[in-house]
Amino acid sequence: MGQQQILLLVLSVVIIATTIAVSADQFNNKIKTSNRKAIIQDMYNLACLAIAFSKTPASFGGGGGDWDADRFYAYCSYPISNNGKYIETSNGRIQVSEISKGRLRIKGWGNEIGFDDKKAIRARLFLSGTGIEDMAFKILN
């Protein structure tokens, strides 16, 4: 085998290895981005369900103007964690709690590690009022 052929073979191996490494990194970033978007969408869905729950009369299984988290978990029909504190989705877990009268906090944790490579993807959504326009959203990592 000539020297040029060996050089081309080594160069080909280096190019292929670099391409595989870059592709794997891009794939991991796509997974993180997809999980972040999915858990945010789940949180928005739960916020809309919370608004519907609050506006539904208690006699029909709703909150009757209140944000009772325990009754809301039963109302939303999502799977609940074993300890009863979290709503489990295929994208992660979400906690809904009332922090003051008429103010709801929805915290979500994704299944994937965030872009800081240390903690799970996290986000918070605050709902103060009875409409979608009353939402404030914050992505933590």
Q: What would the mean pLDDT of 32-36 be, rounded to a whole number? A: 85
Q: Which domain holds residue 75?
A: 3-139
Supply the pLDDT for residue 105.
84
Angle at 91 between CA 33 and CA 131, to 5 degrees: 90
**Spatial distance between the Cα atoms of 95 and 88, rounded to a whole number of angstroms:** 9
3-state SS class at 3: helix
Supply the pLDDT for residue 120.
76
Cα dihedral 78→81→83→85 (10° resolution): -60
Residues of the chain by 3-state class (helix, strand, coil), percent to 5:
50, 25, 25
- Count other Cβ atoms within 10 Å, centred on residue 121: 26
Q: b/e string for 39-60 if b means 16 or more Cβ within 10 A?
A: bbebbbebbebbbebbeeeeee
Question: What pLDDT, in 10s, does the model give residues 55-79?
Answer: 888 888 888 877 777 788 888 888 8
Q: What would the mean pLDDT of 11-35 be, rounded to a whole number? A: 89
Supply the pLDDT for residue 135.
62
Least confident of 65-74, 113-122, 129-138: 129-138
How many structural domains is the chain composed of?
1
pTM as predicted: 0.74
**53 vs 18, more confident:** 18
3-state SS class at 109: strand
Q: b/e string for 104-113 if b means 16 or more Cβ within 10 A?
A: bbbbbbbebb
Q: What would the mean pLDDT of 76-97 be, rounded to a whole number? A: 88
Alpha helices (H) along 56-104: 69-76
Supply the pLDDT for residue 11.
92
Question: At residue 17, does pLDDT exceed 90?
Answer: yes
Q: What would the mean pLDDT of 73-89 be, rounded to a whole number? A: 86
Q: What would the mean pLDDT of 38-49 be, rounded to a whole number? A: 88
